[in-house]
Structure 1
Amino acid sequence: MIGRVIPHPVLSAALVLMWLCLTAFSLGHLLLGTLISLVAGWAVNYLHPPRPRFRRWSAIPQLAGIVLIDIIRSNIAVARILTLGPDHPSYHSGFIELHLRLRDPNAIAVLAIILNGTPGTAWLEYEHQDGRLLLHVLDLRSDADWQSLIRDRYETLLMEIFE
């Protein structure tokens, strides 16, 4: 019973305490903070993806190595762009729409972490129904290059790991 009313009691208690620290203590703030923490706990309860099932553990270090190399390369590329300035003719930023084959929510979450953690790229929007991803790229050369980069470097390994 208590699990349904307060699905995440530690989170709810922490949110109430944080609310009271940020506002002046009063009965109204205590009630409002409690209500907000309960709603947040219920929302978090519905956001939990299914437990990840790893198919091929040996692909995880390979993916981590590729991501590490890509982050180092991207840091160098972003530093070069910042040094040259945004008005340099070789600099082209833009939006790109990619089509993902991934369907596992955990694999998609890992891909989002990889792309947002890589300097020069930002995950903007994802349409689960058709697997469309809107990505902003600081140094956009061609859409096809990015589609193949995501598909060949990340998606293939993530599908081996999760699906």
Structure 2
Amino acid sequence: MRRWIPSPLLSISLLAMWLLLNQSVEPAHLLLGGALAIAAPLLARPLQPHGYARLRRPLAMLRLLGMATVEIIRSSLGVGQIILLRRTRDVNSRFIRVPLDLRSPHGLALLSCLINSTPGTVWVDLLPGDDGRQALLLHVFDLHDAAWWVDTIKTRYERPIIEVFEAPGDRT
């Protein structure tokens, strides 16, 4: 089964999106959408060097996305306020290093998307850490407390992503 449908969740999502975009469940749309839902993951397989991601805790993923949405809205308002109401010389733009325990390439990609989607923060680089772990180089638009940022990234983002993408046996 995995040979023909490498990612069933992706295939179901593609079929559902096809039907929603066409606003029809006629047999022709079901057939064409089903063919695309099977062909697209097969054609995209060479683009997935680490294979398709396996979500170990989908509810944790929903909580993570909910928290990220709230953070994006909050940061949008905060950055807008800074741009409109503060002088340029009062803005404290800095780079910080955040040590990461996350090892999953899919988890790192998700963390990168979440950080870069949040106004006022940019994922700059992934560096080798001092203790053998990786470290994230992060640019913060208006930094007042680096420890708060490190704690926020580790607790609000990294911990749930590890929960979603890495099995307990993967942590060595």
Kindly indicate whether residue 84 of structure 2 is the aligned counterpart of residue 83 of structure 1.
yes
Corresponding position of 1:61: 62
Query: Counterparts of 1:47 and 1:58 in 2: how far apart (Å)?
Result: 24
8 Å contact kept, 1:50–1:105: no
Please give the residue correspondences for 1:138-157 in structure 2 after superposition, counting only pairs within 5 Å: 138-157=141-160
Which of 127, 135, 139 lines up with 1:136 in the alignment?
139
Cα-to-partner distance string for 1:68-119 (whole Å, 9 max, x where unaligned): 0000000001101101234353x31110111011000000000000000111
SS in 2 for 1:58: helix
Query: Counterparts of 2:93 and 2:146 in 1: how far apart (Å)?
Result: 12
Query: Counterparts of 1:76 and 1:127 in 2: how far apart (Å)?
Result: 30
Kindly indicate whether residue 98 of structure 2 is the aligned counterpart of residue 104 of structure 1.
no
8 Å contact kept, 1:99–1:131: yes
Query: Counterparts of 1:53 and 1:83 in 2: how far apart (Å)?
Result: 43
Query: Counterparts of 2:108 and 2:158 in 1: how far apart (Å)?
Result: 9
Corresponding position of 2:115: 115
TM-score normalized with structure 2 length: 0.64
CA RMSD of aligned residues (A): 2.0
Cα-to-partner distance string for 1:21-76 (whole Å, 9 max, x where unaligned): xxxxxxxxxxxxxxxxxxxxxxx957733321211111111011101000000000
Query: Counterparts of 2:93 and 2:142 in 1: how far apart (Å)?
Result: 5
Percent identity over the alignment is 37
Query: Counterparts of 1:126 and 1:153 in 2: how far apart (Å)?
Result: 19
Query: Counterparts of 2:136 and 2:95 in 1: how far apart (Å)?
Result: 10
Structure 1 segments (4+ residues) deviating >3 Å? 44-47
Query: Counterparts of 2:68 and 2:47 in 1: how far apart (Å)?
Result: 30
Matched positions, count: 119
Give the letter for the 1:83 counterpart. Answer: L
Corresponding position of 1:23: none
SS in 2 for 1:49: coil
Pair 57,101 (structure 1): closer, same or farther in 2 beyond 3 Å: same
Cα-to-partner distance string for 1:99-157 (whole Å, 9 max, x where unaligned): 01100000000000000011111111002663111110002112211110001100111
Please give the residue correspondences for 1:24-35 in structure 2 after superposition, counting only pairs within 5 Å: none
Instruction: Extract unaligned runs of 5+ from structure 1.
Output: 1-43
